[in-house]
Chains A and B, each alone.
Chain A
Amino acid sequence: MKFLVCISLVPDTTTKISFVDGDTKFNNDKVQWILNPYDEWYALVRALELKEANGGNVTVVNVGGADNDQVIRKALAIGADDAIRIDVTNDVDSFAIASEIAAVAKTGGYDMILLGKETINYNGSNLGGMLAELLDLPFVSYASKLDVAGNTASIERDIEGGKEILSVDVPFVISCSKGMAEARIPNMKGIMGAKTKPLNVVTPQGVGSLTSTVKYELPPAKSACKMISADNVEELVQLLHNEAKQI
């Protein structure tokens, strides 16, 4: 079975977010870039587990410039067989990224295209649905469990306050949430092996964006927490009623 895992690079979770150029650009200075945790922990690791159980090949794909290669190698160190980087160096939106990946996926004959439920920087959750539509494939979102027998996958996915159990035949697109797999730490053999695994750089189609980010804004600073004595919970009730007006 051929797996394609979409991996995005995001600022490390603990990054202090700031902006430059009149709040129109994210401040890259001193930012540590990591694999988007959901792409890595859930989508990539589950693809590797399925490959290890049933055989196959796991390819990771990233859209971005040569600066990304070091982080892409981490996906290879965790166990992906090969990588594709689509060489887009300007800022583009999710539609442009989906279109570039779809162009690569069309010719690859993949059985399953996996990705995380969202990225932790834009939180759009757009890519999976867009890819599925561009490739005319079924899309299962927020999956927490995935097993395969023959050409049929059994899946559990999150719904509001519950879960849905379903099955779907390959090929399909699936976005992965918690429960799918546990994070893996690359071992020394993996790290050494990653250096010689293929990382193919592909020229982009040059698809344009349909949206643009005009500016960024930080949330207003939170005023200091009002501390209430443990002996005076009635005061909290009054504050929630009179001041916060939430009860």
Chain B
Amino acid sequence: MAVLFLVEIAGGKVKKASFEIASYAAKVANQLGTEAVGLALGTASADELAALGIYGAKKIVHASNVAFDTFDAGATAKAIADAADKTGATVIAISQTLTGKAVAPRVAVRLQAGIVSGAVGLPDADFVIKKGAFSGKAFAYMKITTDKKVISVVPNSVGATKGEGSATVETLDLAPAASRVTVKEVVRQTGDVAPLPEAELVVSAGRGMKGPENWGIVEDLAKVLGATTACSRPVADVHWRPHYEHVGQTGVAIRPNLYIAIGISGAIQHLAGVNQSKCIVVINKDPEAPFFKAADYGICGDLFEIVPKFTEALKAFKASQH
């Protein structure tokens, strides 16, 4: 038995999505009367791995070969499948990050396991799992009918549950498969906010900003909230903002706790990437903007006046909380 989950590591640090997948795996393990075991590949500190115990992991198996520091979907999938065999895992839980999307289907084929990708809930007693479908416009309940099962879980869908404890960290002897891709360069955004798919708070802006030179007020607001910045497709297309900030159907699909949309009309393609957000705030000068229909809170007016005032009000609020 055992429920195996993949610990994702970037630059030697455990990624935030992995806290959530540890909690998810622990809950599935609890349902099945077994325990959650994490698999860490490549360079990582034992202390950081042990800290996954707070989220419910009992044990972390660590294959520390530096070859794993460079990502190759085939080699990573083989390592996960081998680890599943060695730990006797029957359920494999992976975050549906870009890494997860590349490896989970390969793992499923290797293990001859059925897979549910895009899970947003825990399996029930019949191993039926709720997942997003039709680009956020519906949910499907899928049943896995094989003995071994792979679940790819949407980040920020079930949340990380903090408890107490520390996971034991054991060395796992895994021979990395020869990588068939040559990674030349990895370019990451700077700063310490969470990257978009994992971000809980997102401040996003669109064409209503009129030009890239006006983004300061968006960044100020994001800074006060500790939020990640995002943008709509048209402004990424004209390079006002970097490609990786683009959320929507053709960009990144996200489901943060709070999504603040500034000067974005809310075309159906944009909504498809953000409509699973738990709370949506829309600031737009057009009262007919379709985004208001999908929003929880709306302010109609000039964003160049509203956004700085909102930032100041938030600052005052945060100060009053201390």
In the complex the two chains form, is A239's CB within 8 Å of B297's CB? yes
Kindly list chain B residues whose C-beta atoms are within 8 Å of the C-beta of A237. Answer: 310, 313-314, 317
A48 to B13 alpha-carbon distance, docked (Å): 41
Given contacts A164-B185, A246-B258, contact A129 B282 (CB under 8 A): no
Residue B97 CB within 8 A of the other chain: yes
In the complex the two chains form, is B133's CB within 8 Å of A216's CB? yes
Residue A133 CB within 8 A of the other chain: yes
Name, among A124, A213, A214, the residue most crowded by chain B CB atoms within 10 Å (CB to CB). A124
Given contacts A215-B141, A237-B317, contact A167 B257 (CB under 8 A): no
A230 to B251 alpha-carbon distance, docked (Å): 30
Kindly list chain A residues whose C-beta atoms are within 8 Å of the C-beta of B198. Answer: 160
In the complex the two chains form, is A210's CB within 8 Å of B197's CB? no
A93 to chain B: closest residue by CB? B114
Give the size range of A's interface with the partner.
35 or more
Kindly list chain A residues whose C-beta atoms are within 8 Å of the C-beta of B3. Answer: none
In the complex the two chains form, is A129's CB within 8 Å of B181's CB? no
Interface majority SS (helix, strand, loop, mixed), chain A: mixed
Stretch with Cβ within 8 A of B (4 or more), from A49-57, A64-72, A115-123, A192-200: A115-123
A180 to B189 alpha-carbon distance, docked (Å): 21
Kindly list chain A residues whose C-beta atoms are within 8 Å of the C-beta of B162. Answer: none
A237 to B74 alpha-carbon distance, docked (Å): 47
Kindly list chain B residues whose C-beta atoms are within 8 Å of the C-beta of A141. Answer: 73, 98, 101-102
Stretch with Cβ within 8 A of A (4 or more), from B115-123, B168-176, B212-220: B115-123
In the complex the two chains form, is A168's CB within 8 Å of B225's CB? no
In the complex the two chains form, is B133's CB within 8 Å of A122's CB? yes
B233 to chain A: closest residue by CB? A178
Stretch with Cβ within 8 A of A (4 or more), from B21-29, B55-63, B301-309: B301-309
In the complex the two chains form, is A126's CB within 8 Å of B282's CB? no
Name, among A121, A137, A138, A247, the residue most crowded by chain B CB atoms within 10 Å (CB to CB). A247
In the complex the two chains form, is A142's CB within 8 Å of B98's CB? yes
Residue A203 CB within 8 A of the other chain: no
Name, among A142, A166, A168, the residue most crowded by chain B CB atoms within 10 Å (CB to CB). A166
Stretch with Cβ within 8 A of A (4 or more), from B30-38, B46-54, B103-111, B203-211: B103-111
Residue A149 CB within 8 A of the other chain: no
Residue A107 CB within 8 A of the other chain: no
B117 touches which of A17, A124, A233 (Cβ 8 Å):
A124
Kindly list chain B residues whose C-beta atoms are within 8 Å of the C-beta of A226. Answer: 296-298
Residue B158 CB within 8 A of the other chain: no
A179 to chain B: closest residue by CB? B243
With both chains docked as a complex, state the minimum distance between the C-beta of B14 and any C-beta of chain A, in angstroms: 13
In the complex the two chains form, is A11's CB within 8 Å of B134's CB? yes
With both chains docked as a complex, state the minimum distance between the C-beta of B270 and any C-beta of chain A, in angstroms: 11
Residue B128 CB within 8 A of the other chain: yes
In the complex the two chains form, is A95's CB within 8 Å of B118's CB? no
A178 to chain B: closest residue by CB? B250
Given contacts A162-B188, A168-B181, contact A210 B114 (CB under 8 A): yes
The 6 closest A-B pairs by CB, nearest first: A161-B195, A230-B301, A129-B105, A210-B114, A133-B109, A162-B188
11 sample A-B contacts, Cβ–Cβ < 8 Å, listed by A number: A13-B249, A121-B133, A124-B117, A129-B102, A137-B74, A160-B97, A162-B195, A211-B145, A213-B142, A230-B300, A230-B302
Other contacts beyond A129-B101, A141-B98, A160-B98: 10, CB < 8 A: A95-B108, A123-B132, A158-B98, A160-B198, A162-B187, A165-B183, A167-B184, A213-B142, A216-B138, A240-B297
